[in-house]
Amino acid sequence: VSMDAIAKWAGVGAGTLYRHFPTRDALVAAVLENHQPDLSAEAEVIQNDSVDSGAALERWLDAVSRWMRAYEGLPEPLRTALGEQDSPLRLTCQEVIDTTGEFLQAAQKDGHAREGLTGRNLYLATLAAAWALGTPSADGSTGHELDDLLRSGWRVDS
């Protein structure tokens, strides 16, 4: 959807929209700000509830996946933001990557997750799965299959 179409749908002039949100990423970042406190609160709940660090990492990745799929088409700007130093979404992505890294390090320390992985790796894998779920070729089983694949990639066989 073009920024002009968004302005029209919102009932404001294109100039007003561009004054507040000079780029599409700036608009997406503002929309995601509403979900960021929920994601941060979910991280805290997971940390407080989970005894098993592997289960905590799994719950966190599920929360991140839901966050990435909050809006249709969201995975693409999240991916793009990682490569652009001045993207308004970059800081948001980095916060999620850092928290993912914290959950991962705990799981690695306890022997639940493979060594050599990073929070960024898991973020990108989760982002790829979220993108794939939004494609027309995804069906009802795709989500479960991708979740299983992602988990088999980071979990240590017990």
Helices (H), the chain: 3-10, 14-20, 24-33, 36-49, 53-68, 75-82, 90-109, 119-133, 142-154
Distance in angstroms (rounded) separating the CA atoms of residues 158 and 151 = 13
Distance in angstroms (rounded) separating the CA atoms of residues 95 and 111 = 24
**What is the token pair recorded at 77?**
């700007």
Q: Are 125 and 150 in contact (CB under 8 A)?
A: yes
Asked whether the predicted pLDDT for residue 123 surpasses 60, the reply is yes
Q: Are 25 and 81 in contact (CB under 8 A)?
A: yes
pTM: 0.77
Q: How confident is the model at residue 140 (pLDDT cuts 50, 70, 90)?
A: low
Encode pLDDT of 18-73 as tens digits.
888 887 777 777 777 766 668 888 999 999 997 799 999 999 999 998 888 877 77
Asked whether the predicted pLDDT for residue 158 surpasses 60, the reply is no
